[in-house]
Structures are given as C-alpha cells and as structure tokens.
Chains A and B, each alone.
Chain A
Amino acid sequence: MDTLLAGPGPGGDPGAAATPPPDLGPEPTAVGRDPAARKAANQQRAQQELLLVAWWLDRMTRVTAPLVEKRTFFWHGHWATSEQKVRSPQLMLAQNQTLRALGGGDFGVLAHAMVHDPAMALWLDASGSTRRAPNENLGRELMELFTLGIGNYTENDVREAARALTGWRLDRTDGRLVFNPAAHDSGSKTVVGQSADFDAESLVDLLVGQPASHVHVVTRLWNRLAAPGAVPADAMGRLLAAYGPGRNLTALLRALLLDPVFRGATVRGALVKQPVEYVVGALRMLDIRVDTGPGRSRTTLLAALRALGQIPFEPPNVGGWPAGSAWLTTAAAQARLVFAQWAVSGADIRPVTSAPAAARVDAAARLLGVDAWTPRTRAALAQVQDDPRELVLLALVSPEYATN
C-alpha cells in the first residue's frame, strides 16, 4: 500500500517519464476582428485541445503507478474547470500540473494554488473582479463546492468572500495573475463568523481550517472512491483523524484505501465506473496505446468518451461530473458496445486466447480485473467461449465490468 501511494522508487515512473507534458505551442491569438484570422486561431486551439486530452489519456494508460493520475483526475473533478469557457489549453495544462504536484499534500496548499490558478480565475471570473463591483462566482463555489459544502456558510459570507477575492487580473501576455491593490477591497469583512481584513490568502486559510471543510473533503473523496451518500460515522472518524490538522491528503487516501468499511462488502459494486475510468482501464488491461497524434485511434477514443459523456478538461459544470446511475443509461450502453467493438479489434488478449475454451470465461475476468462473474454473465460469456474476441467484447459490456 505504501509503495502504491508513494509511487515508484527514485528512478521515477517509467510510464510517466515516457509521457511528458506536451509542448502545445503558444496560445493562438487572433488580432482584430478578421474572420479568417479568428477561424485559424480557433482551429489551432482545437488542435491543441485534442493534443492535450490525448496526452492525458495516454499518460493514464502508460503510467506504472496509476494512483497519481487517478488522484489528479479526482481533483480535476473537484476543482472542476472547463476548457470550453477557459479557451486556453496552455492554462488548462498548467492547472493539471498543479493538481498532480499538489494533490497528495496539504489541502490548504492545494486550495491556495487553485484560488490563484489562472484557468480557475477565468473559469469562475475572478480575473477582473474589483472592489467597486465584486464578482461572486469564485467566492460562492469556493465555499459551496470546493471547501465547506452547502449549509456551512451564509449568503452574506458569499458577498464578503467576494470582496476578499477582489483585485486580481489575469495578464494574458504571460498567463500570470497580477494583484492590483487599488482594485482590492481592503476593508474589514466577516466570513463564517470571523472578522478581519481578509484577502485571498487569509480567506483560504480561514475556510480550509473549518471543521466543516475537513468533513467536506473526506466526503467528496469517499463519494468518488467508495460509495455515494454520507460517510459511515466510524469511517468518518478514522478518515478525519488521518487528514488531521495538517490536511494531509496522502494520509487521507491511505486511510481510505485501508479502511475496513471501504474494504467491506457494503461498498463493493456501489460505484459505477466513470467513463474515463472505464475506457482507460480497458486500454491498460488490453495493452492498447493511445495515439496522441491525429489518427483513427484518437478520433475513435474521443468519440467514445464524448458519447459516454466525459471528456477530460471539459466537465459539464463547476460541480464536476455526474456519478452513479447517470452513467447507466441506454445511450451509454450503446457507447460502451461501440467502444468495446473497437477495443477488442486491436487488443492483446493472449491470456484469453491461450486458455482452453472452457477456462476462457475465467481468464477474461482475470484479464479485466473482475472479481467474479454472476451466473448470468458466466452463462452469457460461455456462449461465445470459442471466439475469444467476442468473449472479451461482451465481458467489456457486462454489468460487472461497468461497476466498481
């Protein structure tokens, strides 16, 4: 477990080393209103977006220690920021790097970085918010979604937090947030019952120190890795203790993965695989490489994820992606089928092929990491056990493989 959490040894992760962040090139800029120039800039940005998404999928597929990328994807859903509004693949990549670097440390440090993250500043309109007309978007979601959870702050807190966050503007020439003291409201504010001349730094410190924030972070992680709903009280106690006053995210993750409730029967099969988990998991187990350049495999992969409803860097809203039953529509069943048909055509399924026909159903479970087939699925797969590709295809669309 500790090895899993710490990642590979001093030599680093060879899969990560083989998939360095891509050079996206400069942000395309269209000067003036010339339609042709704007179109060209949009096309250039679209190519950079494709490269960015394909790079991350490739990295998720090739890393030796997948936990770091899983954790980064979790934080991407928590601090959900979408390229569809940001319109800068460069800033989205920078945010992604920050989430990867800080996602296993002190949640407070991560929160500071996100409040000053350029992509976030564009996404939630913190850039350009002034004391004369504060923009509430970041202040509200910072409390509601990112740190405290609803019910743990008032409407007045939102307005006061917005004042604390004024004064920042993104400089588009170098992609940095610049603080202008003249645009900042330096007066006294009262937030969650505390009064001070809060600015962005002291506001974040105040929020991440609230007991409600600790519960919120634990719950968000539990809901994505274990089960929906409230965290059982005994597990919550253990997880809060691990998180501790230092808000240690690695200790929290470790405690969660080792928790008896997490490892017990009530949580098994409680989550539906998110589309990215589903697709990347299949690629890893079937030894399929993502083509990051323009080509059929990249197009097919992105079409599958779009049909399933989850494209990295494009969460639907600031609340992040859906969970649970939302992924189990008839439309998604069709998309899984189309993806599986494509995946098995290029997959390495020797572990199934080389097994005797009667042992292939079990070999497919081992290949895909499924604990056990139900008698129903076993009967279904046995019908095609003399055709290993069809067998793996159907295993990929089985109810067992769709869930965690």
Chain B
Amino acid sequence: MDRWTRRRFLLASGVVGAGALAAGGTVIGWQDLAHGARTSPLPAQSAVLVVLTLYGGNDGLNTVIPAGDSAYQDARPDLAYTPAQVLDLGDGLGLNPALKGLHALWEGKRLAVVRGVGYPKPSHSHFQSMDIWQTASPEIPQSTGWLGRWLDATGKDPLRAVSLGGVLPPLLAGASTAGSALPTGAFRLPKGRSLNAFTTLGAESPADSSTQAQAATADRDLLTVARTFGGVFDGAKASLSPRQSPSPTASPAATPTPGGQTAQPAYAGSGVLASQLDVVASCIAAKVPTRVYAVSLGGFDTHAGEKATQEQLLGELDQAVSGFLARVETGPNPVVLAVYSEFGRRVQANANQGTDHGTAGPVLVAGTPVRGGFYGAQPSLTDLDAGDLKFSTDFRSVYATLLHRVLAFDPAQVLGKDYPLLGFV
C-alpha cells in the first residue's frame, strides 16, 4: 500500500519519484540536445515517435462515436451526437465534430483508430490508471516507464527521449536513464560580473543535498542552454510565449513583422499543446538525435457539462496535431504520433450532463507511415462490466507495435513478453 500511495502521490504531483530522475541523475538541458544535433544528428529515415497523453480520462465514446447505436443514444440523452453530426468513419462510427483535421487524415489513410484499448481489472483512479498506462504494468506497480525501459535497454542515452512542458512524465523514467524534460520560453540572464557569479552558483558542490544539487543543475542548465543553443529553437520559442518579451537572442529564424512582433507560424495553434508540438517540429527539423517525444493535454475529467468542454479540448488537439503533422510530413524522418488517455468514461451519463470514470477507450495513431483504418473490435454497449466497456485490445499490443515498427526494438524486452502486433504502422 505504501508503495502505491507514494507512487500515486508522486504521479499526482507530476514528479517521477522512482527511477533515475529522483536520484538527481539525468535532467538534460537544451545544450546537450544542441551538442547532440551537432555531433550525432538524427539519421534520415530514423522514425520518430510522439506520444500524446490526454490527462483526465478522455471520453472515448464521444471521440470515436457509435452514433448509429441506439444503446449509445439511450444511455446519453443529453450528451449524444446524432449520426448526422459526427464525421463519418464507416462501421457505424464517426469522429467528434471537433476533429476535422483528423478526419482529413482518416480520408487520406493516415489515421489509425485502435478501438477498445484497455487492460484487465481496470482502475478507475486517474492517478493509478495513468501510472499503469505509463509503466505498462497493470498487475504489479513498476518504478519505470515503458519508454524509460526502452532507454535503459538501448544505450542509456537520455537525449533520445524528450518531454515538453518542463516536468518529466513517468513514461520516460528508466531505472538508470531518464528522458529529458525541456522548458519552453524566452531566456533572460544576468549580465557582466553577475553572470560570472551565477555561473559559479550553478556548479556542483559536494555539500549539496540531493534537492540542492538539482537546483544547481537547473541554474547551470539555464545558463548554458541560452548561451550555447544558438538560434535553433528561437523561432519556435518566440511563438511559445506570446506574452513574454522577445528573447534577447532572437535569431534570424524568427520572422519579424513590421510591428516588431514575432510572426505566429501558420501551423501554430493558440494552445499549449500546439506550443509543445511546435518545439518538437523544430527539434526534428534541427536533427536533434531524439527518437521519442512526450507531449500532453489536460482537462478531460468531464464529470459535468461534458459536451462543450470536450469539444473545445478536442478542437485544440485537432488543430495542434494536424498542424504538426503537416509540418513534419515533408521531412526525411517519418513521424508517428499516438494519442491515449488513462481511461474512457462510463457509458451511462450522470445527472450533471457528464460522465464518470470508465475503462477502455480508443487510441489514435497518425502520421505518414501509418496505415489508416480501424484496428481492434468496437466494445459492445450492451455487454458491459458494471456499466463499463469491456476492452478488446490490450494497450501493450499498441506499445509493442510502436516499439517494433517505429523504434525497431524488440517489444518483449520492454513489456516482459510478446503481445500480438497490430498492423497500423
């Protein structure tokens, strides 16, 4: 119990307690990435995996919608979409009307919809179920994430997995190697003599406690990042922080407008997810040797007034993802983006025009190497487990496919055993 409590607490806190990060080990800054891009650039044709986590439990039944099923209409009198409202996928299913860009990818056979993804004896706790998805271990609590174990097994290079948003998610924490958590935003450093003193402040000291050592690392990173990273990301960064003053090191990569403001690239949405994906696209273009990126979007815990909230979030997702994929599709590196959430939601709506925590949900996979179409069986809306969907596809089959086909790695080494591969990539 203690272990679960602690792990849940840490996960709730957005902190990877176990594994390499807590040991004060590998928090990597931009400078390391920049160095990596110069010394060991990502080889052309190396595929890149982007994992998009939807926090809060996205309602899968109102994402990939069985609009033609009368059981769906009956269970959700105020929440259901009609067949005419959804974006048709065939098979009696349709995408949420907010997912227009993803529907265009579907039409172009570049979107796979893996249906009914889940695991046995599902947890309805946000924190525990997200832990299970990120560690790929439903039965026994694990201290490492599934992509962290891939890092451990493939040369312990933390540069190869990067999280955007400043906090490292557990999925990138290995036993000996953790991925990098990168900040976003413009830099403002001390000047002159104070800069020298600040440099000294970021040095390692044997007298530091482990948290103090991490604070020193953060100071040190900040300094060297801005100094050595050059202009690679400035264009992207400028669009990340429209409310901040432009970076003093603004590079020619950013496009100044007559008003002196940095132009928003046409593909950039307004949301935080778009900003994260903007940096990912810049990293890929700069040939940073990163194979895996983790990005996220939160707010899907729609117990009340679900329809408007979910549509707004899915709209943000749609704009960000389709813009990102359009930007990277012309590059030499194939990019595969996978979207998941910790659980779907109860079939039956509650009294507040919302839904409570449920179980299985769809995983969406998009990108140029993706073979569009349906995978996995759509769960029945009448053969339920205490009001919840029964999963048809083990989430570890999705991971196995991504590990094998995108990262060219033996899935059993990460997942403990073999799971049936799906044909989506």
List residues of A whose CB falls within 8 A of some B CB. Answer: 124-125, 127-130, 132-137, 140, 144-145, 149-152, 155, 158, 162, 216, 219, 223, 228-230, 268-272, 307, 309, 316-317, 319-326, 328-334, 337-338, 341, 374-377, 379-381, 383-384, 387, 390, 393-394, 397-400, 402-403
Contact = CB atoms under 8 A, between A and B. Distances in A.
B190 interface: yes
Q: Give the most central of A145, A320, A377: most B CB within 10 Å.
A: A377
A341 B304 CA distance: 43
Q: Which 5 A-B pairs have the closest CB atoms?
A: A331-B183, A319-B12, A269-B209, A380-B200, A376-B205
B23 to A, nearest CB: 10
B6 A230 contact: yes
A328 B14 CA distance: 12
Contacts of B348: 133
A135 B303 contact: yes
A212 to B, nearest CB: 8
B352 interface: yes
Given A334-B185, A374-B205, A403-B209, A329 B304 contact: no
Interface in B335-352: 348-352
A268 B209 contact: yes
A325 B21 contact: yes
B201 A332 contact: no
B357 A140 contact: yes
Contacts of A374: 205, 207-208, 212
Nearest to A132: B351
B13 A326 contact: yes
A241 to B, nearest CB: 20
Given A129-B351, A270-B209, A325-B15, A399 B219 contact: yes
A399 B5 contact: no
A394 B166 contact: no
B366 to A, nearest CB: 27
12 contacts: A129-B351, A134-B351, A158-B124, A230-B6, A309-B166, A324-B13, A328-B215, A329-B166, A333-B219, A376-B203, A379-B200, A402-B215
Given A124-B303, A136-B350, A155-B124, A322 B167 contact: yes
A135 B355 CA distance: 8
A391 to B, nearest CB: 9
Q: Give the most central of B183, B205, B221: most A CB within 10 Å.
A: B205
A237 to B, nearest CB: 15
B40 interface: no
Contacts of B16: 325
A151 B209 contact: no
A329 B196 CA distance: 21
Given A333-B218, A399-B219, A150 B14 contact: no
B173 to A, nearest CB: 11
Given A333-B218, A376-B207, A390-B197, 13 more contacts: A125-B350, A132-B351, A135-B352, A140-B125, A150-B8, A162-B356, A317-B12, A324-B15, A326-B167, A379-B200, A384-B197, A399-B213, A403-B212
Contacts of B2: 230
B9 interface: yes
Using C-beta atoms within 8 Å of the partner chain, give the interface range for chain B. Answer: 35 or more
Contact of A321 (B13, B352, B354): B13
Contact of A150 (B5, B15, B212): B5
A390 B198 CA distance: 10
Q: Give the most central of A128, A152, A268, A307: most B CB within 10 Å.
A: A128
B187 interface: yes
A248 to B, nearest CB: 23
Nearest to B309: A85
Contacts of B181: 329
A385 to B, nearest CB: 10
Interface string B376-389: 00000000001000
B172 to A, nearest CB: 14
Contacts of B289: none
B356 A150 contact: no
A134 B194 contact: no
B350 A135 contact: yes
Contacts of A316: 14, 298
B17 interface: yes
Contact of A329 (B4, B183, B349): B183
Interface in B1-51: 1-2, 4-6, 8-10, 12-17, 21-22, 27, 29-30
A133 B349 contact: yes
A229 to B, nearest CB: 6
A337 B197 contact: no
A374 B212 CA distance: 10
A270 B209 CA distance: 7
Contacts of B217: 328
B189 interface: yes
Nearest to A332: B218
A374 B349 CA distance: 58
A269 B211 contact: yes
Given A125-B352, A150-B128, A374-B205, A137 B303 contact: yes
Interface string B311-354: 00000000000000000000000000000000000001111101
A381 B200 CA distance: 9
Given A333-B219, A374-B205, A376-B200, A272 B211 contact: yes
Contacts of B167: 322, 326, 329
